[in-house]
Amino acid sequence: MVAAVNASRVERLVHISSLAVSGPGTTAAPALETAPPAPVSAYGRSKRAAEEEVIAHCRTAFTILRPAAVYGPRDGEFLRLFKAARAHVLPVFGGGRQELSLVFVTDLAAIILASLAHPGAPGRVFHVAARESCTARQLTTEIAHQLGGRTLPLPLPNAVWWPLCALAQIAARLTGRPTVLAHGKVRELTAPGWVADTGQLRATLALTCPTGLPAGLAATRAWYEQEGWL
């Protein structure tokens, strides 16, 4: 990617990284893009390695964006939660206390486009997320509310993730199909939170992600139903 940019007439590069590079954070102590990277999984470390390539070798102006968990139309991961709620099951991960920053996909797209032209963006790293965070319980409860049905709570304590991830990794090796539930993912799933501080985005670029969770999930549900996914 960097070689292609350097060999062309590209004037600005926006590299999409991940909050996984910054590491866990909570509402009391959110992750800061100005702090040293602290990834806790192979995924986060691979994202950091890509950032380092951009920083070291990109000769054109670049901006690095670290989005929080992205959701919206066409997303397959949140579809699983919607399907569980449609089946009247409400997964509750780790007691539902894990705190999360989220970003609706159209908000992220708008930030990417704005970063291509904003004079304050080059050479900077920005978290991209809605200003308000939620807990895992609030997220699944809102999805159930969107579908308007009764759900049965399904507690999934942190202890279950180790055997689940181990089984998923064995199955992936046997079938040749990739899985997101690798051993390194356990630390992400059991972290106290993934909350990002977005003060740099607001202060430097005067940009925000305005879509709140209810509106974003409503738009996501509507697209799933329109396309026959749900």
Q: What is the pLDDT of residues 158-179, one digit of tens each?
A: 666 666 666 666 766 776 665 5
Q: What DSSP designation does 90 have?
A: E
* Of residues 75, 32, 68, the one with CA closest to residue 47: 68
Catalytic-labelled residue, pool 43, 53, 142, 181: 43
- What pLDDT, on the 0 to 100 scale, is given for residue 177? 67
Q: How far apart are CA 106 and CA 210, in angstroms?
A: 10
**Which homologous superfamily does the CATH classification assign to the domain defined by 2-212?**
NAD(P)-binding Rossmann-like Domain (3.40.50.720)
Whether the pTM exceeds 0.75: the reply is yes
Rounded mean pLDDT, 62-84: 94
Mean pLDDT of the region 98-112: 97
| pLDDT over 60 at 183, yes or no | no
β-pair partners for 60: none
Kindly tell me the burial class for residue 22, based on how many C-beta atoms sit within 10 Å of its own C-beta (0-12, 13-18, 19 or more): buried
Query: Cβ–Cβ contacts within 10 Å for residue 74, how many?
Result: 12
How many CB atoms are closer than 10 A to CB 38? 14
Instruction: Tell whether the model's pLDDT for residue 225 goes beyond 80.
Output: yes
Going by pLDDT thresholds of 50, 70 and 90, the confidence category of residue 88 is: confident
Q: What span, in angstroms and rounded, lies between the C-alpha atoms of 171 and 56? A: 38
- For a pLDDT cut of 70, what percent of the chain falls above it? 83
C-alpha torsion 164→165→168→170, nearest 10: -110
Residue tagged 């066409």 (tokens) = 74
* Higher local confidence (pLDDT), 154 or 188: 188
Q: Is the pLDDT of residue 3 over 70?
A: no
Q: Can you read off the two tokens belonging to residue 140? A: 């699944």
Has 43 been annotated as catalytic? yes
For 143, the enclosing helix (H) or strand (E) is: helix 136-147
pLDDT over threshold 90, residue 7: no
The domain locations on the chain are 2-212
